[in-house]
Amino acid sequence: MSEILIRREGRAGRITLNRPEALNALSYPMCLALDAALIGWRDDPDVALVLIDAAGDRAFCAGGDIAQLYAEGIAGNHDHGRDFWRDEYRMNARIADYAKPVVSLIHGFCMGGGVGVACHASHRIVGETAQIAMPECAIGLVPDVGGSALLAHAPGHLGAYLGTTGRRMGPADAIYAGFADCFVPQAAWPDLIATLCATGDVAAIRGQTPPPASLPALQPQIDRHFASADLARVLASLDGDDSDFARETRLTLGRVSPLAAALTLAIQAQLGPPPSLRQALELEYRVSFRAQADTDFLEGIRAMIIDKDRKPRWQAAADAVAIAALLAPLGPDTLTFTEE
């Protein structure tokens, strides 16, 4: 069975992520196939729009196939991850810049690499089960796949909070934070898909009122505590507050990689205004290119995905020297977006 289903239906180019048993985790071959489909349909006059969805009930895409990245990284093959991230980031940019409408239907878990596929689309639809997050700091990486640009566009300092804590967003919070555009109940999706395929017209999308959001009420506290791009100051601010929000957030930050959280704040501070997706992807690639050798990334995957002991031994320093080194330009390895 193919991991990704690519076909034409009426006026639509259809892409369905098809690894439900693996929560539709995005493998390198899936990434390349998705990108090739976009290139193939770009100048096809019979394709009016692209529609991306996913099989199964549990997830749109819970992230990249990091188990494979771990196996290659532990074996010393760092080029596998570097090649995957490079091609994935180019695919993310292609989705965002696509000349035709790209519609994503987001249900269940949509995290990490799934955000890179779904949340750069021009029309991002969330259903009632959607849970969107950028949880990379928990595995020693920074929010990538252009997620740092989405975070930088969020209201106030919400992006710094979401990026460091990995908090999950339901449909209303995802719309509030700028990761989605509208809510459509999942029971209505089959009819919507049929109409989009038949007409090729995104005017058929009619958003409805989503369930209540929780982030707007937290915005004042988030803006207060995450105003600094310095992780130590953020932690000190939280330590000085006895509220439930501050205590829970401090506990969460105590579990993630300190270096990854510090890098996430540094990237947010460097972006924009206005935040550019390609600038974000290039900055993210500086970190991911070096991640396997110089960060807590492999240890984070070991603890959370491979051994599942959830006891990562964070060792990488989170000081200014380490942050500067990881964000330094890559020279000839710099991520570019030229056609190859």
User: Hey, which residues are catalytic here?
Assistant: 64, 113, 136, 144
d(CA 41, CA 270): 35
Q: Is the bond preceding 135 in cis, omega lying within 30 degrees of 0? A: no
Question: Which three-class secondary structure state does DSSP give residue 91?
Answer: helix
Q: Which residues pair with 7 in a beta bridge?
A: 14
Amino acid at 52: I
The DSSP annotation for 314-334 comes to: --S--SHHHHHHHTS--GGG-
With contact defined as beta carbons under 8 Å apart, do 267 and 121 qualify?
no
Instruction: Of 337, 255, 329, give the one whose Cα is nearest residue 290.
Output: 329
N- to C-terminal Cα separation, the chain: 29
Question: Which three-class secondary structure state does DSSP give residue 251?
Answer: helix
Question: Which three-class secondary structure state does DSSP give residue 172?
Answer: helix
Tokens standing for residue 338: 């030229």
Q: Which helix (H) or strand (E) holds 191?
A: helix 189-199
Q: Tell me the H-state helices in 75-139.
A: 78-97, 113-118
Sequence-distant (≥ 6) Cβ neighbours of residue 33 within 8 angstroms: 4, 6
**Residue-wise over 160-171: b if at least 16 C-beta within 10 A, else e?**
bbbbbbbbbbbb
